[in-house]
Amino acid sequence: MAFRSVGVIGAGQMGNGIAHVFATAGYQVLLTDISDDALADAVQRITKNTARQVAKGHLSEMARADALGRIRTTLDLGEVGGTDLVIEAATEREQVKDQIFSDLAGSLEPHTVLTSNTSSISITRLAAKTDRPERFMGFHFMNPVPLMNLVELIRGIATSEDTYQALLATVQRLGKTPASAEDYPAFIVNRILIPMINEAAYTLYEGVGNVASIDAAMKLGANHPMGPLELGDFIGLDTCLAIMHVLHDGLADTKYRPCPLLVKYVEAGWLGRKSGRGFYDYRGETPVPTR
């Protein structure tokens, strides 16, 4: 089971990064989204990021040109069904993902492997609603995809060994490190990381410290490269909240209760960097804590 062509569904922050790394690794990439603007923005970002790699000596100009030439875009989801490997990288909502796989079903080739870049949702449940649960896996890249070395591989209960081995080999071809995770809510990375961000929000909510002091404490006291509130803004507070809901619902443990302040920020549309405000205000030259 060897993949030559890859279809990426969703051209946002994760999708364009996934397209980027597959193209530079020699795969033919077909990127799709629901608007021309989203696709144009993705291509522009990939063009910029590969130029940065050339400037740093990580990629030759010829290799960059070849990689960019391997990326095509389309608004037709059905076209993606003709690729060897499909990677769904849409928003972290199960209903949206289910609809995408349902819409794609009629155009899939018999050999096509389906994967989801979900950071928390049950792979077994997503796979069971398709016609090929044995050819379905969780394929979770870290953000930003071109820089982060880890990929979580999550098998559903029906995932075949051949599918797992093919995706394991793919991760290695990308030059990244695989981590195999069982199909439990939020897998490994986010099972540990997102509750930490949620606890930082509780620390702010309860007045233990302000935004600046909480982030400084973890950067200087625990040697984290980014404070937890700053990291939450980088990930997207709506994504953090969605993962907390998955943990709380899936594990039925009160320690995973989403912080009310995190809920308020999301209700206000303060989602972090992508919306201009979150735990920090990004509308000026320098981010300013909002509390």
Report the candidate in 8, 240, 255, 246 with the shortest Cα–Cα distance to residue 122. Answer: 246
Element (H, E) at 116: strand 113-116
Beta bridge partners of 181: 154
Among the listed residues 5, 16, 88, 140, the single catalytic one is 140
Q: What residues contact 109, with CB distance under 8 A and at least 6 apart?
A: 81, 82, 83, 84
Among the listed residues 5, 16, 119, 122, the single catalytic one is 119
Q: Strand 113-116 to strand 136-141: parallel, antiparallel, or no bridges (unpaired)?
A: parallel
Q: What is the DSSP letter of 12?
A: S
Q: What residues contact 112, with CB distance under 8 A and at least 6 apart?
A: 81, 82, 83, 84, 85, 86, 132, 135
Query: Can you tell me which residue has the tokens 């690794």?
Result: 25
* Residue 49 annotated among the catalytic residues of the structure: no
State the Cα–Cα distance between residues 271 and 279, nearest whole angstrom.
9
DSSP letter for each residue of 230-241: HHHHHH-HHHHH
Q: In the numeric block, which tokens belong to residue 276? A: 């201009």
The answer to whether 272 and 239 have CB atoms below 8 angstroms apart is no
Q: In the numeric block, which tokens belong to residue 267? A: 């209700």
Report the candidate in 29, 32, 16 with the shortest Cα–Cα distance to residue 66. Answer: 29
Q: In the numeric block, which tokens belong to residue 142? A: 């870290």
Among the listed residues 88, 152, 198, 230, the single catalytic one is 152
* Residue 275 annotated among the catalytic residues of the structure: no
* Residue 61 annotated among the catalytic residues of the structure: no
* Residue 107 annotated among the catalytic residues of the structure: no
Give the C-alpha distances (Å, rounded to integers) separating 114 from 67, 80, 89, 142, 269. Answer: 23, 11, 11, 19, 32
Query: Can you tell me which residue has the tokens 């144009």?
Result: 40
Q: Which residues carry out catalysis?
A: 119, 140, 152, 190
